[in-house]
Structure 1
Amino acid sequence: MPTTSAAPPRVLTASEKRAAEEAAAGRTDEEIARRMSIGPRSVSLLLSRIGRRNGGGRSRPARIYSALAAGLITPLVPARGAPDFTDADLLLIRALAEHSEPDAVAAAARLHTSELIVRTALLVLRAGARDATHLVALAHAWELLDTAARQGSDT
């Protein structure tokens, strides 16, 4: 019986790749638009295509993580090493990387939805990130996401 496998991720266009790499660095749509000489809505459309094409979900961190994990964009080179994150911190970072809906992120991180914004903001500050997308990109560069997955599955 033949085996089936998931379709390989699609190659990004040069514009999608650039927009995704800028988003991974924590830049806003407006900042990316200025750097690419396009409108902010065009940036939003470029990033949304990444999620639709590669199964990255609807949230910006999940889209960018899907592109990073598939090797479609260049990973960040962090200026410093990773902070000493707790197991709960790593679980939240993994949840941000893998889920799009706040309820799903909170459930995966074992948090109440009302805690999600504050806990994410604290992690962003602790990591020296600009936003949740940048946090996920840094965690990928620090090779923390596989660790978070293993720890989350052990409990």
Structure 2
Amino acid sequence: METSNAIFEKDFVENLLPQKFPFVMVDKLYSYTEISLVSGLKIQSDNIFFHNKNFVEAGLVEHMAQSVALHTGYQFYLKKEPAPTGYIGSIKDIEIKKLPKLDDEIQTTVSILQEFGGITLVDIVTKLNGIEIATGQMKTVLAK
């Protein structure tokens, strides 16, 4: 994995997202290319999706969606342009195999399958300690 462009500065990563605290579910950018991104999140006790010793399903799905948003945000940051607002058009085939616990660090890989006219189809895989814990596809739409 290429880490030369890794960004572990939480505030910088947060500024690339439309979401703001306490609704930010990504705190690291491990790598970026035009067609992929690897993001991360350390599960903290003050996370709004942390319940009963687990980071719950809704949190994982939101983390996956924000990883897609981070790709767009960083893409526009590199072009020195403000990122447009994006929306989830659809979520498909989400499979959650395991819920992360407190202090776990999850890593999510976003792979762009198709991009056309502001609509992007992505494949998303979330891992914990190198083991796949969640997968799915999302279609996102940029606001015009």
User: What range is the shorter-chain TM-score in?
Assistant: under 0.3
Query: When the two structures are superposed, what TM-score results if normalisation uses the length of structure 2?
Result: 0.28
Query: When the two structures are superposed, what TM-score results if normalisation uses the length of structure 1?
Result: 0.27
Larger Rg: 1
As a proportion of its length, which structure holds more strand?
2
